[in-house]
């Protein structure tokens, strides 16, 4: 419970292991996968072998049983090299396996979690719809109970769902309208829908500017029938489950921002130490040195905020406001570092041959995905009583 900035041996080992893997296995292929818009099953399985799936899940369900900060550091180290691989891990752990782990019945957890802790199976989070993004209560997807068959019948569509249209996708947690509340708002509930269920179509989305080697899908539900036992949580608890899941997800996006910022800083420091102008390395010119100083300072501040939020969560203290702050700030620092890094690289920073170019594109997602920066400010301001 005590507050310490010293990393435990376990955390240091996690950082060193994931960093080595990211530098030796991901870095050499990240540019090509991004260019070809190709999800790598091979890298995903290797990340599974490293224990990056089900990181926080109890070993009783096949997970690694690690603390939250270890998981966050793993995401950070992946994102330092490549946003796509980091997003596969982050979306699977916090949005995919997370709700099953936190809200599933014993039966559901035993049935689904073990295969989701190996890297051979992905699970997706079906919240966003074509007309329900920031306004997540505006879901139009419906689930109607068929009493005779003790089944729910789901109709609707979801969009921009990470890990949902992939050969490894085992299923999805779907938010759907199950009734209308007395105040006129929709009653929302969550359902477990397995891949291959009749009436479910998953279509991979193409043409993203960022995270091009991660899998993003559109889902269509056409009279999709699931047994009554596939409800996750209780009827009417869907929105709460989704919102609490996003509270955790914000820490993952924070980790992706921090990692990307660190990656951009490291690339820029190296380049600025090698590149010469006016007879000396550009890092010796104050114009560049000050950029590096600012990037390093903001990265440290982002780390402090994110790790504090994780520490609060780990110690069962209120962390939701800090999670929104960490998501907001880390994504802004990531964008700042990617932009200033690219500026330092000059013309080379505009070329795909240099990973800073990919970082620059990947950073854009962080201020939009899992709640825009505007939504984070809304959430934070509500905690302030505004
Ligand atoms: N944890 C638990 N419960 C929560 C919650 C949270 N973080 N946030 C809201 N709720 C509950 C509220 O307590 C309220 O419960 P009651 O109906 O019992 O009173 C209910 O949910 C509705 O809350 P509220 O009226 O505040 O919801 P809003 O429609 O105003 O929306 C925001 C709140 C904007 C914060 C929410 O819609 C949001 O986070 N939007 C962004 C969604 C997003 O990130 N989309 C991208 C997904 S990419 S994976």
- Residue 240 CA, ligand 1 centroid: distance in Å: 7
**Any atom of ligand 1 within 6 Å of the Cβ of 58:** no
**Any atom of ligand 1 within 6 Å of the Cβ of 51:** no
Residues 251 and 229 in one domain: no
- Residue 231 CA, ligand 1 centroid: distance in Å: 20
- C-alpha 359/C-alpha 65 separation (Å) is 31
Residues 35 and 102 in one domain: yes
Residues 245 and 348 in one domain: yes
**Any atom of ligand 1 within 6 Å of the Cβ of 128:** yes
- Beta-carbon contacts of 214 under 8 Å, excluding residues fewer than 6 positions away, are 39, 83, 84, 85, 87, 88, 91, 162, 163
Q: Which residue puts its alpha carbon closest to atom 18 of ligand 1?
A: 240
Domain annotation covers residue 4: no
Radius of gyration of the chain (CA): 21
Residues 225 and 247 in one domain: no
From the CA of 125, give the closest atom in ligand 1.
Answer: 49
Residues 266 and 375 in one domain: yes
Residues 256 and 211 in one domain: no
- Domain boundaries, position 365: 240-383
Instruction: Give the whole-number percent of the chain exceeding pLDDT 90.
Output: 98
**Any atom of ligand 1 within 6 Å of the Cβ of 127:** yes
From the CA of 95, give the closest atom in ligand 1.
Answer: 49
Contact assessment for residue 190 and residue 241, using Cβ atoms and an 8 Å cutoff: yes
- Residue 357 CA, ligand 1 centroid: distance in Å: 35
Residues 135 and 108 in one domain: no
Question: How many structural domains are present in the chain?
Answer: 3
State yes or no: pLDDT of 356 exceeds 90: yes
What's the pLDDT at 2?
A: 77
More confident residue, 5 or 244: 244
Residues 244 and 360 in one domain: yes
Residue 274 is a catalytic residue: no
Domain annotation covers residue 3: no
- C-alpha 283/C-alpha 268 separation (Å) is 9
pTM, two decimals, is 0.97
Q: Angle 27-36/83-90 helices, nearest 10 degrees? A: 90
State yes or no: pLDDT of 1 exceeds 90: no
- C-alpha 40/C-alpha 333 separation (Å) is 28
Domain annotation covers residue 15: yes
**Any atom of ligand 1 within 6 Å of the Cβ of 129:** no
How would you write 115-167 as a 3-class SS string?
A: HHHCCCCEEEEECCECCECCCHHHCCCEEEEEHHHCEEEEEEEEEEEECCCCC
| Sign of the alpha-carbon dihedral angle for 169, 207, 83, 91 | negative
Domain annotation covers residue 2: no
Q: What is the mean pLDDT of the chain?
A: 97
Domain annotation covers residue 1: no
């Amino acid at each position: 419970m005590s507050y310490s900035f010293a990393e435990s041996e376990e955390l240091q080992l996690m950082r060193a292991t994931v960093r080595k893997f990211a530098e030796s296995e991901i870095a050499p292929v990240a540019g090509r996968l991004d260019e070809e818009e190709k999800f790598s099953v091979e890298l995903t399985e290797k990340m599974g072998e490293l224990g990056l799936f089900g990181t926080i899940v109890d070993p009783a369900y096949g997970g690694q049983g690690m603390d939250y900060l270890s998981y966050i550091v793993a995401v950070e180290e992946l994102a330092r090299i490549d946003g796509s691989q980091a997003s596969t891990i982050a979306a699977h752990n916090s949005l995919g396996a997370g709700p099953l782990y936190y809200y599933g019945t014993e039966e559901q957890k035993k049935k689904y979690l073990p295969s989701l802790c190996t890297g051979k199976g992905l699970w997706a989070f079906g919240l966003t719809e074509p007309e329900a993004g920031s306004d997540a209560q505006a879901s139009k997807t419906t689930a109607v109970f068929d009493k005779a068959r003790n089944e729910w019948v789901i109709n609707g569509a979801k969009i921009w769902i990470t890990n949902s249209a992939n050969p490894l996708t085992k299923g999805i947690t779907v938010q759907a309208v199950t009734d209308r509340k007395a105040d006129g708002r929709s009653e929302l509930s969550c359902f477990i829908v397995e891949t291959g269920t009749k009436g479910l179509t998953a279509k991979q989305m193409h043409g993203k500017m960022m995270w091009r080697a991660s899998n993003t899908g559109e889902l269509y539900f056409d009279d999709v029938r699931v047994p009554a036992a596939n409800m996750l949580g209780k009827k009417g608890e869907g929105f709460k489950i989704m919102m609490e899941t996003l509270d955790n997800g914000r820490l993952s996006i924070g980790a992706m921002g921090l990692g990307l910022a660190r990656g951009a800083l490291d690339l820029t420091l190296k380049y600025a130490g090698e590149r010469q102008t006016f007879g000396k390395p550009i890092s010796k010119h104050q114009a560049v040195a000050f950029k590096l100083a600012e990037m390093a300072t903001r990265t440290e501040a982002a780390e402090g905020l994110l790790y504090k939020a994780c520490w609060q969560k780990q110690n069962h203290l209120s962390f939701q406001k800090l999670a929104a702050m960490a998501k907001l700030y880390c994504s802004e620092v990531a964008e700042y570092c990617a932009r200033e890094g690219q500026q330092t690289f000059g013309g080379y920073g505009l070329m795909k041959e240099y990973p800073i170019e990919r970082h620059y594109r990947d950073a854009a997602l962080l201020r939009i995905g899992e709640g825009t920066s505007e939504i984070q400010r809304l959430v934070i301001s509500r905690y302030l009583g505004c």
